[in-house]
Structure 1
Amino acid sequence: MVPAAVTPAPTIATMVICLPDELPAEALTAHQLRTHFGVTGTLTPLFWAVPQLRLWQRHQMIGLRKGRPASCAGGPVRLLDLQGMRHAAAIGAAIRYQIWQQAVHGTRPATPWPTFETRHLTDPQKYPYDTAVADFHAQPRVNAMRLHAAATPGPGQPGVGELEMYQAGQMAYQHYRAASAVVGDALLTTDGRKLAPTSDALAHRVTYLEQALRHLDTLEPDQRLLAVALETTA
């Protein structure tokens, strides 16, 4: 009997929460995040405040930092520069894609990690985790990416975790990064619904982005958003 395929859990590092109107910003401590939203994490400066933010509007922002652009953990939608964030993310993605294209030039398309992980989780006895990792890393394109990362360390380098996104093409990768910049890896609505990808596979990520962006478009200008970096469990 062939075992049923097991879908790997998605990687959720950053969650965007649509805050209820009655919840004051002062209550957004780690303990309150668990109490109100059932998540464990810390506020993270995912968003940018609008460039024309007035002095009297600063108290409406959550975790506002100095700088241009001024990053923050959240605030009312009308005071967040979501369009600027998406534009900047797309530009950065275009640069990374060009680097990636040069790094993998001459290699064949590779099978992304979620495929190997699914095979392992479906039948861990016949296909151990170490074997899955070895098979993934044995691909010439993955080796080319790892060698590039080793030779040019630092932030912003193409990572093997986004292999499938890169292989979708430059415009697709730019759209993916632009959308992810404003909705993170998961979104919690005001009525308690959690939007999240089913797995890290590109098709599941795209479905999440479609749902999250659609929800974002329905929000009122005064709706507050909050970004939380979730704690990971070993």
Structure 2
Amino acid sequence: MAAIPNPNSTGKTGKAPAVVATIRTMVVCVPDELPRESLATRQLDQHFRVSGSLYARFWAKPTIHIWERKHLFDLRKAEKNQPAYCAGGPARLLNLAGMHVAAGMGAGMRHQTWQQAVHGTRPATPWADFEARNLENPAKFPLDDMAAAFYSQPRVNAMRMHNAAYTGVPLALEELEIFQAGPTAYQHYSACTAVVGDALLRLDGTQLAP
């Protein structure tokens, strides 16, 4: 998913920017026989061509044995009534199903919040449509004009006003299209991305990303 330009930082040249997917979280699949040292933070770029660091986002299964903990990376101590987070490990030790269900439930509540925030506004055109116009004809549809048109939509303004007024998880403008697809679609999308992140690096080295 391409990032939406900041409304206060768009240029005046009208040139089409390079389209780069916004990848904040990448899940890396590795074979069982890979040495543990290869997953040290300082070696991610060397072995997998991934810039970044390990991040504890997976849930460890609550039923794992003490001797199995050594197979999990960066295992954190579980808080009361909370799952134990880790940066990864064998799939059999991860509670991926629990992550999937919890993300879907959280998305359902977030969609209700979104519905309240945008109540009374018309459906908005997603940023991808404006970006496509700019890429097709940057002279006719300058980037700054497209960004201004996107941000001027009442529904987009309602989302931004909500984010400015309330703390907590913001209503992502990048998710406008899937928000508008309905609560079921948004829950399914959120549940899937909770497990695989923004991109997935497969065992054969190929990368899957939107």
Length-normalised TM-score, structure 1: 0.77
Structure 2 residue 112 is the aligned partner of structure 1 residue 98? yes
Structure 2 residue 72 is the aligned partner of structure 1 residue 61? yes
Alignment of 1:150-161 (within 5 A): 150-152=164-166, 154-161=167-174
Deviates more, 1:59-68 or 1:31-40: 31-40
* Higher RCO (CA-CA < 8 Å; seq separation 6+): 1
Q: Give the unaligned 5+ runs of structure 1.
A: 198-234
Deviates more, 1:168-177 or 1:8-17: 8-17
User: Counterpart of 2:28 in 1: which secondary structure?
Assistant: strand
Alignment of 1:20-31 (within 5 A): 20-31=31-42
* Identical amino acids, percent of aligned pairs: 57
Q: Is the 8 A contact 2:77 2:85 kept in 1?
A: yes
Deviation at 1:26, TM superposition (A): 2.6
Structure 2 residue 53 is the aligned partner of structure 1 residue 39? no
Aligned to 1:175: 188
Aligned to 1:138: 152
Alignment of 1:76-225 (within 5 A): 76-152=90-166, 154-197=167-210
User: Counterpart of 2:89 in 1: which secondary structure?
Assistant: strand
Give me the whole-angstrom Cα distance separating, in 2, the residues matched to 1:106 and 1:183. 34
Q: Is the 8 A contact 2:60 2:84 kept in 1?
A: yes
**Offset from partner CA, 1:173-221 (integer Å, 9 cap, x none):** 0000000000011111111121111xxxxxxxxxxxxxxxxxxxxxxxx
Give me the whole-angstrom Cα distance separating, in 2, the residues matched to 1:104 and 1:185. 26
Q: Is the 8 A contact 1:96 1:157 kept in 2?
A: no
Structure richer in strand, relative to its length: 1
Give me the whole-angstrom Cα distance separating, in 1, the residues matched to 2:18 and 2:136. 8
Deviates more, 1:127-136 or 1:169-178: 127-136
Q: Is the 8 A contact 2:130 2:146 kept in 1?
A: yes
The alignment of Structure 1 onto Structure 2 pairs a total of residues equal to 192
Q: Give the unaligned 5+ runs of structure 2.
A: 1-15
**Offset from partner CA, 1:15-52 (integer Å, 9 cap, x none):** 11111233222331344211211111111112100011
Give me the whole-angstrom Cα distance separating, in 2, the residues matched to 1:41 and 1:122. 33
User: Counterpart of 1:43 in 2: which secondary structure?
Assistant: coil
Give me the whole-angstrom Cα distance separating, in 2, the residues matched to 1:156 and 1:127. 33
User: Counterpart of 1:134 in 2: which secondary structure?
Assistant: helix
Deviates more, 1:135-144 or 1:27-36: 27-36
Q: Is the 8 A contact 1:6 1:122 kept in 2?
A: no
Cα RMSD for the two superposed structures? 1.8
Structure 2 residue 86 is the aligned partner of structure 1 residue 75? no
Give me the whole-angstrom Cα distance separating, in 2, the residues matched to 1:21 and 1:93. 33
Give me the whole-angstrom Cα distance separating, in 2, the residues matched to 1:133 and 1:164. 16
Q: Is the 8 A contact 2:99 2:194 kept in 1?
A: yes
Match for 1:50 among 56, 61, 64?
61
Deviation at 1:159, TM superposition (A): 1.9
